[in-house]
Amino acid sequence: MSSTEDDGIQKTQKLDQSQSTGMTKKAKDSRSLFTREFEKLQTITNNKRPRSPSPMQENADNSIDDCFKSQNKECSCKSEYKKLKIYIKNLRSEINVKLDNHFNSFKEMISSFPNKLAADDQYPHELWYNDINLLDYGAPNIQKYISKLMDELYSEQEMGESYVIDGASTSKKKALDLERLLKIRDAVYIKYRVPNGKKNEYWEIVKDKACRKCLDVAKKIRIK
């Protein structure tokens, strides 16, 4: 091979190397430029403020929220109104029932009033023993009424020494004066409007209370 050919080959190799180096440098420069531009884009994106809604959009959203709230409130009011209406209806029915019951009771009382007056006319308004009208006395119950009349008709000594003897008896105590006890019995019949069918039962009540009264007085005297 001649020297001229060698020189040509060497020049060609140098040219290829020079072109290869230039292309590599250009590629590096291109990548570096791309990297810088990409980093700038990232920086801009990161620093970009979030987009705030426009006033019109905010007003529209608020209007929608208010609308839903208003509808919910209206539904709640309707529900409460229905409950209140049902409660008032039930209360009115209950009041009407009670009024009807009271009215019927009052009507029965009024209708029975003439009968009560007629029944009262069957009983005397006075029952005297000596100067004492036994019907003038009052008491909260029949037991206390009998006790009060005994205090008026008998002395303490009589009650302490006596006992109620109705019929045959072997008691050593004196028999309590039966005439006055019968007056007390009649006063009880009148005072408490005792019907004929209950008179024997009430007579036993009078005698039982009189016996206990005598025993209590006798015990009181012994203690003294």
| 44-67 residue pLDDT tens | 766 655 555 556 656 655 666 666
Task: Kindly state whether residues 172 and 197 are assigned to the same domain.
Answer: yes
**pLDDT confidence bin for 153, thresholds 50/70/90:** very high
Judged on CB neighbours under 10 Å (0-12, 13-18, 19+), 145 is buried
The whole-number pLDDT of residue 85 equals 84
Lowest-pLDDT range, 15-24, 67-76, 136-145, 152-161?
15-24
**Global pTM exceeds 0.75:** no
Q: Are residues 182 and 213 in the same domain?
A: yes
Cα(223)–Cα(91) distance, integer angstroms: 64
User: Tens digit of pLDDT for each residue in 80-91?
Assistant: 888 888 989 888
Cα–Cα nearest to 184, from 209, 212, 218, 165: 209
107 and 171, same domain (yes or no): no
* Helix axes of 199-223 and 142-153: crossing angle, nearest 10 degrees: 60
According to DSSP, the residues that pair with 63 across neighbouring strands are: none
In this structure, is residue 117 part of a structural domain? yes
Both tokens of 117, joined, read 């007056």
* Helix, strand, or coil (residue 178): helix
Q: 54 or 191: which carries more pLDDT confidence? A: 191
Percent of the chain whose pLDDT exceeds 90:
37
Tokens of 193: 């409007």
Q: Are residues 104 and 187 in the same domain?
A: no
- 69 residue type, one letter: K
Q: How confident is the model at residue 120 (pLDDT cuts 50, 70, 90)?
A: low
How high is the pLDDT of residue 10?
59
Do both 106 and 164 map to the same domain? no
pLDDT at 121: 66
Note whether residue 43 is domain-resident: no
Q: Among 122, 152, 176, where does a domain finish?
A: 122
Query: Is 154 within the bounds of a domain?
Result: yes
118 and 134 inside one domain: no
Which of 19-23, 188-192, 219-223 is predicted most confidently?
A: 188-192
Does 175 reside within a domain? yes
Per the structure, how many domains does the chain have?
A: 2
- For residue 109, the enclosing domain spans 60-122
Q: Is residue 3 part of a domain?
A: no
Instruction: Tell whether 136 and 113 lie within a shared domain.
Output: no
What pLDDT, on the 0 to 100 scale, is given for residue 197?
A: 95
pLDDT in tens, 88-103: 988 888 898 888 888 8
Q: How many whole angstroms separate alpha carbon 52 and alpha carbon 184?
A: 105
Residue 117 shares a structural domain with residue 132: no
Residues 149 and 219 in one domain: yes
**111 plus 193 within the same structural domain:** no
What three-state secondary structure class fits 139?
Answer: coil
| Torsional class of 167: left (φ above 0), alpha (ψ -120 to 50), beta (otherwise) | left
- Out of 122, 153, 176, a domain closes at 122
Is residue 190 predicted with pLDDT exceeding 80? Answer: yes
143 and 184 assigned to the same domain = yes
